[in-house]
């Protein structure tokens, strides 16, 4: 088995790692290490054979894993992590400057590198019909409008994992609605219990649980079928919790960022912070995001600094990685991470919203989460917590697109390859700032929410 195939096999194993013995993360880590050792040894033997047989082995193994555990979102192999941190300070200018070019000039993007599939990617383009970015993101109209939280901002919205018809959205009224969109759009269940604004939430990998963070200083774990609150985790320091995320490789762990400048790793079975699972920032934590492997965690604070941590899957410990100042005294309101897996574009990337009218695309340059600026996009973003997302199918076509909310009441689509006029589409329909957006996994539906509590489900032209 050649090196490429065994790496892909290991990637499949890592992808389904969270489903193996969920109560024993050490066993999962040992399993992956042993698999890696055996595959490396086999690859070194250079045993002659039919390359098609190797590919067939990978295909059969993928099908068997999918049949046993169901589909999962994003494939990516685990990498070893280093514990030595470093600090890079990039913000040394007057904070009153508002030109978006100041971020460009301080982080030095790699203008010559290509981050999307080249024009030779015929097979990749064929998977989505060979259409251009603009053609792929033409919308046929509105599928449905939810107004169950009208009057209170809908703060965040997310489709369920690998489910194109199930969605949830949280509101400043302290409630979260779980809905289905087919055959008839309706609310399945409303999660009630928080006494203040829900600032963030996350689906578990199997979509049976949702964790919510709130300004009422609690994390809550919910059963998505019944709407029952399973556990309440209260912050000792009575500080608002601003963001939360499940650990991708172990959904028994939840990471949360709060107003006391701390990032904490919670064991949801006990409700306790894990030993060594605390990271300290220099300002209140506003946003967090894991990479797909769960090895790197990024956290953005209210003073414009992006921090990275490495996460030890065996011990649940956080270790400091890098610290990059993007814009002084300006909140980082959203972070999204994605591995761009294609033949031409393999760089892991991070998408960051900064409340200085800027959306930034970064390339991840090492296994401790150091980032390098790729591109910036201008949006209207000053006063609200605006969020953005990667398009889910960007690995399979020429070009790649990112979507963001906007205080000008539109949903903006940006082609990351275009150097000028990168906005390829703009959806108009909201009458208030658009706070968050979410695509379902096959890109047939897009959801957006606004500061007046309206949720619009857009139907893409197929």
Query: What mean pLDDT do residues 204-227 have?
Result: 95
Range from 95-99, 212-216, 255-259 carrying the lowest mean pLDDT: 95-99
- Report the distance separating Cα 350 and Cα 339, nearest Å: 9
Give the single-character DSSP code of 157.
E
User: How does residue 113 score in pLDDT terms, banded at 50, 70 and 90?
Assistant: very low
Mean pLDDT of the chain: 82
Query: What mean pLDDT do residues 26-48 have?
Result: 65
Q: In 3-state terms, what secondary structure has residue 60?
A: helix
pLDDT at 217 (0 to 100)? 94
Q: Which residues on neighbouring strands pair with residue 146, listed in sequence order?
A: 455
Chain-centroid distance, C-alpha 435 = 16
Per-residue CA distances from 91 to 323, 352, 355 (Å): 11, 16, 15
> Number of helices (H) and strands (E), helices first, in the chain?
6, 28
| Percent of the chain whose predicted confidence (pLDDT) is above 90 | 58
pLDDT in tens, 362-400: 999 999 999 999 999 999 999 999 999 998 875 555 567
Q: How many other C-beta atoms are found inside a 10 Å radius of the C-beta of residue 363? A: 19
pLDDT at 24 (0 to 100)? 64
Fold of 101-460: Methylamine Dehydrogenase; Chain H (2.130.10)
Per-residue CA distances from 346 to 72, 318, 349, 395 (Å): 19, 26, 9, 9
Report angle CA 114, 118, 120 to the nearest 5 degrees: 155
Instruction: Report DSSP letters for 161-223, one per residue.
Output: TT-TTEEEEEETTSEEEEEE-SSS-EEEEEEE--SS-EEEEEE-TTSSEEEEEETTSEEEEEE
User: How does residue 56 score in pLDDT terms, banded at 50, 70 and 90?
Assistant: confident
Half-sphere CA count of 20, side-chain side, radius 13 A: 16
Dihedral of CA atoms 258, 262, 266, 272 in degrees, nearest 10, equals -100
pLDDT at 339 (0 to 100)? 82
User: How does residue 29 score in pLDDT terms, banded at 50, 70 and 90?
Assistant: low
Q: In 3-state terms, what secondary structure has residue 367?
A: coil
| Pick from 409, 432, 434, 410: nearest CA to 423 | 410
User: How does residue 82 score in pLDDT terms, banded at 50, 70 and 90?
Assistant: very low
User: How does residue 92 score in pLDDT terms, banded at 50, 70 and 90?
Assistant: very low
pLDDT in tens, 145-188: 999 999 999 999 999 998 999 999 999 999 999 999 998 999 99
Is the distance from CB of 211 to CB of 176 less than 8 angstroms? no
Instruction: Kindly list the domain boundaries of the chain, sorted by start residue.
Output: 3-69, 101-460
Is the distance from CB of 456 to CB of 448 less than 8 angstroms? yes
pLDDT at 378 (0 to 100)? 95
pLDDT at 122 (0 to 100)? 54
- Report the distance separating Cα 326 and Cα 373, nearest Å: 10
pLDDT at 38 (0 to 100)? 73
Question: Is the alpha carbon torsion for 118, 119, 120, 121 positive or negative?
Answer: positive
pLDDT at 22 (0 to 100)? 61
Q: Check pLDDT > 80 for residue 25.
A: no
Q: Check pLDDT > 90 for residue 102.
A: no
Q: Which residues on neighbouring strands pair with residue 263, listed in sequence order?
A: 257, 279
Q: Which residue has the tokens 């030095």?
A: 108
Is the distance from CB of 233 to CB of 276 less than 8 angstroms? no
Query: What mean pLDDT do residues 426-448 have?
Result: 95
Q: Is pLDDT larger for residue 81 or for residue 345?
A: 345
pLDDT at 73 (0 to 100)? 47
Q: Check pLDDT > 50 for residue 77.
A: no
| Pick from 350, 362, 402, 360: nearest CA to 381 | 360
Query: What mean pLDDT do residues 62-75 have?
Result: 63
Q: Check pLDDT > 80 for residue 243.
A: yes
Range from 127-141, 414-428, 434-448 carrying the lowest mean pLDDT: 127-141
Q: Check pLDDT > 50 for residue 303.
A: yes
Q: Is 364 left (phi over 0), alpha (psi -120 to 50) or beta?
A: beta
User: How does residue 79 score in pLDDT terms, banded at 50, 70 and 90?
Assistant: very low
Residues 6+ apart with CB under 8 A from 242: 199, 200, 213, 257, 258, 259, 284, 285, 286, 287
């Amino acid at each position: 088995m050649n090196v490429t195939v065994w790496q892909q096999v290991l990637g499949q194993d890592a992808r389904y790692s969270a489903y193996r013995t969920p109560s024993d993360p050490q066993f999962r880590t040992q399993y992956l290490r042993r698999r890696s050792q055996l595959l490396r040894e086999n690859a070194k033997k250079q045993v002659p054979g039919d390359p098609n047989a190797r590919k067939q082995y990978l295909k059969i193994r993928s099908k068997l894993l999918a049949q046993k555990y169901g589909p999962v979102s994003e494939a990516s192999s685990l990498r070893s992590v280093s514990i030595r941190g470093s600090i890079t300070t990039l913000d040394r200018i007057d904070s009153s400057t508002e030109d978006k070019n100041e971020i460009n000039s301080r982080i030095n993007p790699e203008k010559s590198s290509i981050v999307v599939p080249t024009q030779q990617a015929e097979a990749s383009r064929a998977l989505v019909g060979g259409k251009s970015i603009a053609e792929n993101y033409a919308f046929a109209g509105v599928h449905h409008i939810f107004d169950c939280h009208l009057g209170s901002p809908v703060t965040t919205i997310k489709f369920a994992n690998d489910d194109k018809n199930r969605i949830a959205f949280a509101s400043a009224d302290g409630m979260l609605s779980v809905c289905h969109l087919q055959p008839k759009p309706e609310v399945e269940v409303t999660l009630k219990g928080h006494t203040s604004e829900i600032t963030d939430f996350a689906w578990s990998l199997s979509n049976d649980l949702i964790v919510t963070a709130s300004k009422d200083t609690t994390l809550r774990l919910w059963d998505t079928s019944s709407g029952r609150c399973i556990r309440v985790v209260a912050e000792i320091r009575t500080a608002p919790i601003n963001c939360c995320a499940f650990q991708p490789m172990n959904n028994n762990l939840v990471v949360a960022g709060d107003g006391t400048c701390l990032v904490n790793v919670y064991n949801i079975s006990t409700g306790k912070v894990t030993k060594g699972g605390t990271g300290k920032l220099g300002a209140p934590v506003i946003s967090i995001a894991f990479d797909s492997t769960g090895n790197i965690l990024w956290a953005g604070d209210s003073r414009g600094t992006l921090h990275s941590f490495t996460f030890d899957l065996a011990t649940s410990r956080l270790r400091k990685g890098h610290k990059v100042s993007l814009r002084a005294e300006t909140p980082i309101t959203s972070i999204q991470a994605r591995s761009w897996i294609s033949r031409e574009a393999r760089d892991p990337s991070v998408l960051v919203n900064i409340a200085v009218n800027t959306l930034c695309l970064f390339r991840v340059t090492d296994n401790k989460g150091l980032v390098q600026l790729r591109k910036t996009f201008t949006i209207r973003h000053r006063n609200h917590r605006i969020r953005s997302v990667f398009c889910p199918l960007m690995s399979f076509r020429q070009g790649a697109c990112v979507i963001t909310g906007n205080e000008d009441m539109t949903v903006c689509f940006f082609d990351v390859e275009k150097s000028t006029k990168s906005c390829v589409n703009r959806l108009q329909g909201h009458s208030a700032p658009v706070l968050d957006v979410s695509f379902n996994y096959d890109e047939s539906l897009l959801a957006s929410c606004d500061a007046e509590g309206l949720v619009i489900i857009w139907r893409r032209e197929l």
